[in-house]
Every structure is written in C-alpha cells, then in structure tokens.
Structure 1
C-alpha cells in the first residue's frame, strides 16, 4: 500500500458529467487501484513502449477507457478524461 491518492483533473463534474453512475463507480475503483500501485502506475496501460505521460486504461471490457497521469512528484494519479462508448 502506498500513500498515493487520486483526483480528477480538472474536476469531477467536468469529467463525469453525463456518465452512468456505474461507469463513474468503475472509474473511481480503477483510480483507487492505480493509486495503490504508487510509482508503478507510470507503467500501466497504453502506450506500452514507454513510461510516464498521459496513459490510457480500458474500462469495463473495452466499452470505454480512462486517460490518466501518474505524477510521482505529487504522489497522485489524475484522471484526466473518460471516453465511454456505452
């Protein structure tokens, strides 16, 4: 377990507006899991050939994805976008 946290960037309202409640719950569950990884969160998801930067992780079996930044300096994972295909 790490001391990392997660947050929405720019805000929860901006990113989750219009998403079904179950999708928001899954996004928050994944963000919690990513924060638990700590520094290793910079290696999770796409792109596969490098670490860091904006990363993507599939959501609910490929029905969407989240884009996130893992920032070691802040010890935080920032959820930056959610794309939901429904």
Structure 2
C-alpha cells in the first residue's frame, strides 16, 4: 500500500480509539450496532473493517481494502 494510505488508516484508527464507546456507532454495521463495522477511506477508494470493543477500551482494525 502507498505510504499515504497507511498514514490515513493510522490516523483513522487513532480517531476511532479516541471516540471510546462512541466508536460502536461509526461507519456501517453488517447487521446491528456494535460488532464488525466498515468505514470508507480516501473518498471511497478503499475501506477499513474494524471491531470496537468498549469493554476492552480498544478498537481493532481487522482489514484494509485499497482499490488504488
């Protein structure tokens, strides 16, 4: 992946972590609030899949898809 994409994913991960419990409401969910979620990056040229776990106070970035 290009360095700019890596930097954007790192920036988004930091912002998601800063949201704390509010991160369960960000992005698209597959079937309900919480669980694995998706968020578009760089104007729809890719997306990240992440799992917010409020009880562990963390956000796990599970995958990054880049169409560039």
- TMscore range, shorter length: over 0.9
- Structure 1 gaps of 5+ residues are 1-18
Shift in Å at residue 73 of structure 1?
1.5
On the 8 A contact 1:43/1:50 being kept in 2, the answer is: no
TM-score by length of 1: 0.75
Bigger Rg, structure 1 or 2 = 1
Q: Greater share of strand residues, 1 or 2? A: 2
User: Which 4+ stretches in 1 moved above 4 angstroms?
Assistant: none
* Equivalent pairs, count: 68
- Structure 2 gaps of 5+ residues are none
RMSD: 1.3
Higher relative contact order (CA 8 A, sep 6+): 1
In structure 1, the residue matched to 2:17 is 35
**Is 1:65 aligned to 2:47, yes or no?**
yes
In structure 2, the residue matched to 1:11 is none
Q: Greater share of helix residues, 1 or 2? A: 2
TM-score by length of 2: 0.93
Can you list the C-alpha shifts for 1:30-65, whole angstroms capped at 9, x where unaligned?
001111110000010002873100000000000000
